Copies of this chain bind each other. A is one copy, B any other.
Amino acid sequence: MVYPRNEWYVACFEDELDAGAPVSTQVLGSWLVLWRAGKSVVAMDDRCVHRAARLSQGRCEGDSLRCMYHGLRYDAVGKVVEIPGQDLIPESARVRTYAVEVRCGWIWVWMGNPAEADRGRLPNLPDQVSLSDFITGAGALDFSAEARLISDNLLDFSHLAFVHASSFGADLAWAHTPMKATLLERGVRAERWIENSSGPAFLNLSDTCDEWLGYDYLVPGVLVMLNGVFPKGTAELSGFRKPDLSLAIGGLALNVQAVTPKTERTARYYFLTGPHRNFGDEASRDAMVAINHQAFAEDKLMIEGQQIILDATPELTLMPTIHDRGITMYNRLMDRLSMIAEPL
């Protein structure tokens, strides 16, 4: 597995820490423990310096975390501050900590050197919107497959026409007209206008409309997407680029997704979804979360099937199609970043 370590990966949901107990998670093959030291979140290696017991089986004690095997206590920078029965604490008695940020309800961990942690690389929401404009819900699925297969899936929406025909009600047009793909500095932008559409059934429009969907797929595996319904003519008016969102007449929604490689053959797929406050409520959010769960389970079946075949056929060569432009762009970017990163 070669993934860049100098990047932000989602390690867990923020509210998993609310119970006051440490949380164990695996990112890029490393076991981490996440816990709250007062108000700040700490991520560190999930192993006691003493005998490698899991600190995630330990106990939060205010600003410190106690290993519950022989009682060593750690502070928020990973230093051992107590060894029961022993006065001297060696200087080397510390575990590696990781830079941490909270965003979109998720704990993001910088897997490289904390001193190099670059907050500028955290994903931003699109211009014109903020998270509080939306009523959002979240979920996650574990995949028995390499994280890159999930990224490949998300970089080619032509699969909607086949994998998600029923869950998302996607039509064949998704497969027949590739999205416009543009290389960004740290990702790929995919955009799509459908003009003169009858619009989603639930809007019950009297006139035809223009539908817009655009997302950035960012290193190391983050999707940020907006879509909505606009008055007929908006596509042309916008030069077939991203519209002024204030023109939306319905269906405006946000999706954020993050793919975390756990090991070479396992990954966790996080998602957040919901309608804009002007165009939906808690009920529509719950419906969107439910449909996402259904759709991503469809992806999971397909992707875990791919993994079985790839494992049984290591020498396999794939054959790109016209829809793979975004995948190729993105994978070149990742390969370049992984080469300059320390290997796992």
Contact = CB atoms under 8 A, between A and B. Distances in A.
Interface of A: 29-31, 46-47, 49-54, 57, 66-72, 83-86, 90, 92-93, 152, 156, 158-159, 161-163, 172, 175-178, 301-302, 305-306, 308-310, 312-313, 316, 318-323
A321 B70 contact: yes
Given A57-B301, A85-B178, A318-B51, A71 B306 contact: no
Most B C-beta atoms less than 10 A away, residue of A50, A152, A172, A309: A309
A172 B54 CA distance: 20
Contacts of A92: 319
Contacts of A53: 302, 305-306, 309
Given A71-B175, A85-B323, 20 more contacts: A31-B309, A31-B313, A47-B309, A50-B321, A52-B318, A53-B305, A54-B302, A54-B309, A57-B301, A57-B305, A68-B163, A70-B159, A70-B175, A71-B158, A71-B161, A71-B162, A83-B322, A84-B172, A85-B176, A85-B178
Contacts of A52: 306, 309-310, 313, 316, 318
A224 to B, nearest CB: 23
Contacts of A57: 301-302, 305
A47 to B, nearest CB: 5
6 contacts: A29-B312, A51-B318, A53-B305, A57-B305, A69-B159, A84-B158
A47 B316 contact: yes
Nearest to A47: B309
A199 to B, nearest CB: 23
A319 B93 contact: yes
Contacts of A93: 319
A308 B56 CA distance: 12
Contacts of A320: 50
A30 to B, nearest CB: 8
A322 B321 CA distance: 61
A28 to B, nearest CB: 11
Contacts of A31: 308-309, 312-313
Contacts of A316: 47, 52
A102 to B, nearest CB: 26
A126 to B, nearest CB: 26
A158 to B, nearest CB: 5
Most B C-beta atoms less than 10 A away, residue of A51, A69, A72, A93: A51
A310 B50 CA distance: 12
A158 B70 contact: yes
A158 B31 CA distance: 26
A69 B156 CA distance: 10
Nearest to A298: B68
Contacts of A86: 321-323
B49 A319 contact: yes
Nearest to A310: B52
A84 B305 contact: no
Given A52-B309, A163-B69, A305-B53, A85 B318 contact: no
Contacts of A70: 156, 158-159, 162, 175, 321, 323
